[in-house]
Amino acid sequence: MGRLRHNKKRTIGIVYEILVREVASAASSNDPKRAAAALDIISRHLSEGTELFEELSLHRSVMESRGVSGKLARRIVDELKAAGIKLGARKMLREEAKSRLIHEMNRTLGRDVFDRYRIPDYTAHASVGIILSRGLEARLDEAVDIARVEEHLVEFLKLSPTETKQYDPDATLYAYKTAVGLFEHEYGAQLTKEQADLLREYVRVSLGGNPAPFERTFIRQRDQLKESLKARRLDEVFTSDAEMASKLDEAIKDLDKMEAQADDEAVERLMLYHNLRKEIES
């Protein structure tokens, strides 16, 4: 790509693909420690609320916009350039976050982790990363090279995807089993069917799956829990103890305000309310 420099370790879309493949590789080799380490890195460095989440979301959104018209492909590239300028305002913070991510991957998963896996559509990933990284720093002597990168990405977006799978089922299955084990170890209780359903959908969306099933599951369970706790409000243990009644009312109010967000905090809170209902009903 001429004078333009591309660093795959700092191209977040490529790093995410490497981490997902690391989970799948650990699953096939029966290495739960390595799988848990990769999942933990994804959660702490690339999930919603982190410094790098917006860049990853933009990158993945472009890569999944395949089979569009040439006019729309060019519009997507223009929007990507605009997003790169916007991200440039936080460049220092993002670069620091990337350095921390790279350091942890080297330390935890081994320095060769960046070279372990073949990433499909690598050049398109690199093109997205270059366009996002230029921001306000594009120079006149880079104009021809930038144009070539943009043209490559336009052609990529015009092609229909050869693979429609949005997430790796092996990685998702192993991530789910690992998450179940971690939760049960942390709270010393087996998951109920509802908790297992919620956790399964959360893991699925965390590794690239459609968020709609998670959102439907979350909302349905939240509403069911709220109604179940309301029904218990007249139990003697609550009518005879003002403090206990107050705590139950707080739980009901909290459930009423909870939104279907695919993040660790929201899922853990809902999981714990399942535990609360189980304790009250036992």
For 190, phi and psi rounded to 5 degrees? -75, 150
Amino acid in the structure at residue 255: L
Quote the CA–CA distance of 127 and 152 in Å, as a whole number.
Answer: 8
Q: Mind listing the pLDDT tens digit for each residue in 148-191?
A: 889 999 999 998 875 444 555 656 666 677 777 766 666 666 78
Task: Check pLDDT > 90 for residue 48.
Answer: no
| DSSP classification of residue 167 | S
- Residue 74, pLDDT > 60, answer yes
Contacts of 17 (CB under 8 A, 6+ apart): 117, 119, 125
Residues written for the chain: 282
User: What percentage of residues in the chain have a pLDDT greater than 90?
Assistant: 39
Q: Residue 225 in contact with residue 280, Cβ under 8 Å?
A: no
Query: What pLDDT band is residue 211 in, cutting at 50, 70 and 90?
Result: confident
Any idea where the domains of the chain sit in the sequence? 8-158, 169-281
pTM: 0.61
- Res. 221: pLDDT tops 60: yes
Look at residues 220, 216, 276, 282 and name the one whose alpha carbon lies nearest to residue 251.
276
Interatomic CA distance for residues 108 and 92, integer angstroms: 24
With contact defined as beta carbons under 8 Å apart, do 3 and 145 qualify? yes
pLDDT of residue 5: 62
